[in-house]
Structure 1
Amino acid sequence: MKITVVCPGELGEPEINRWREIQKASPALDNPFLSVDFTLAMGRLRDRVRVAVIEDGGTVTGFFPYERHAFGVGRPLGGFLVTCHGVIATPEFKMDARELLRACRLSVIDFDYLVAGQPTFSPYETDVRPAPVMDLGSGFDAYVEQIRAASPKNYKTVRYKERKLGREHGEVRFDWESADLGALHTLLRWKSDQYQRTGRVDRFAQPWIIRLVEEMHAARSDDFAGVLTMVYAGDTPVAGHFGLRTAQTLVGWFPAYDTAYAPYSPGIMHHLHLAEHAARSGLHQIDMGKGDREYKDWLKTGVLMVAEARVARPSPTTAVQWAGRVPLSRLRTAVVDDPRLFKAADRLLKAYGQAKSRLRPRFRSHQSTRTR
């Protein structure tokens, strides 16, 4: 087996085409964060991005995109920014994960959103749990019947609030695959405010992430595209979402809404419209990502399994990294698994975020960074 490590921009057309061929052949890899297009975009914006091209008998059998940080510490491509990691390889592919790390000049790598059950990494999985999906394989009407049957009161309430929003603020309309860059920045501003209000890390405090989202918004092909969707009341945007899709799967990434319209439940309303238009466009599922949120529990009609894993080779770096990360990771898992602890932690984060947001500048990018 031969492993060659390259920067994404060094991949040739044969490798790019082979990547797409491998991904299309495996349903488990049907996620835009595993697409070569996403890796190429990350490579243009981050000089730490590398790809291990894996050959067996002269045939490329897999690709492993990753980031190499100081002292040989590896991170999955995109790290906490994305919700799917793994090796893009043929179903029968398997190799020793530590040998893969050696070839990549990595001492250790941690995964929070690993495709579960990959033969190379499955021996190192420490936690496997379901990620909710909206299954649209039988069409939107069949999907709605499932969620309505599971919780008729919730469905009735959301539709009532939508009609009320229309009466009080203007006709409700939905924009699918919007090309409006101004609408995109409105959504990012809402999301930035949400991060700060709730005490989370504000992704959009980093300019390269804004540039990445803009590049993804401009991406358009049958197998990979950015999808911006917005709900309007009259001419006023009230809720939206930006995500990525393959030919069959849309992955949730940045949902947000204008808090002035919170009494109308615009986020849930938006997701129902999103599901309807996604189904009409031929998509089979919406992956909402791992995480316990009430709206996900209500909207889901299926699950995908996602794993946490840690692969390490003996080294001083590994020991230091373990001390800094693993105990915190275990604490986080314990909090997430206990509803009482999770609610208490969430309240604490929100209180912290509200206090801190008064001191921090808001997201102010109203013009495309591509024009600066």
Structure 2
Amino acid sequence: MAGEPLMAYRSPGLDAIEAATRLVARRHDHDPSQPLGLDQVKGRLRLMVDQVMSEGGLWDEDTAARAFGQAEGDSVEAAHLVRTYRLSLPQLATTAVTDVAELVPLRRIVPVYRTPPGRQILGQTRDYLPRLLRTNETAASDEDHDHRRPDDMLATPPAAPGPRACDTSAGPWPERIHELLEARDLVVSRSAPGDPDPVDVASEPRILDQDRSARLYLLARAETAALVLHWYTHLLNEGQMSPAVGGHGEVRVGRLPVRVPNPLTGGCAEVGEVRVTEAEAIENLDRHDEDTTRFDVGYGLCFGQNERKALAISNLDIILERDRGRSEFEQLVLRTADGMDANGLLEHVKLPHYVTFRAAVDTKAELRARNPHTDTGEAE
């Protein structure tokens, strides 16, 4: 009608989207069960929180637990939420390099030694428990609880926090497998000339043509299941399902200090600590173009207690190094291991595609109209 303001058009699709959003909020916020607190998620679902922090690339247990709850238990969505939140944070400083020799182990497993130098520490693990579902689980009595954090149950306490030199020396824990093999000159050298600084892939977002530090960064932030799949697929393709030597090495779960350098004093202030999983994998070099008198050692490190991921990284580190230039396996792994890209592409399949599909249907119909006698499956 003349003189009346035009009303904004609301499509039925927009109404449906808003209704779907309200349904998600209603299910999340108004479920009749008791809401999960952050302490419950961090305590009862700690391994999933560790996985979300690792794949999200941010050490913040509260943020990971909150994202996991908001995603209703979808670890991929939770990691995506953490990454999005991480991008909104300012970068206030760059931490000092921490020597992994300072790692205080909560768990140390060396499968290649019956009695390794130092100690085997089983720690907290389900490796030796039967995979049987407990259907009559009841709450433990208060007397059964040790009220210390699991991380505090250590044979050797961590060093006291405070200012110290940035070039801290190794702690009291035994040498790693590669160090023991290096002492006997049984390991090929993988050090880069000039000892370049590690590449920060977050600020230099390049995927291919990267050095080892960037590759390990990408693998540390990749999706755990994708890494395991790539490693397992390689073994199947190479027929190495039962290698005599290969893949085994050492696994450590422990705590590493986080320090920030002081530009005035030259020292470092310890601002916290992170829990990490570290793995080394040994590979028997046996090709004609390799030094068959030595082994190669792969390395993996990631946030939290995430042993499958660290082991997969260490094995893929060796596989990619030996395969470099021989096939497209490195490109396949580095392009597809990040769950954000793969799952984002898959999720978009559910979004509207009616325009492109209608165009394809019209094209097919036009071709049929031009060639009404063309048999199905025949090409002109």
More strand, by proportion? 1
The two structures have a TM-score, normalised by structure 2, of: 0.25
The two structures have a TM-score, normalised by structure 1, of: 0.25
Higher relative contact order (CA 8 A, sep 6+): 1
Say which one has the larger Rg. 2
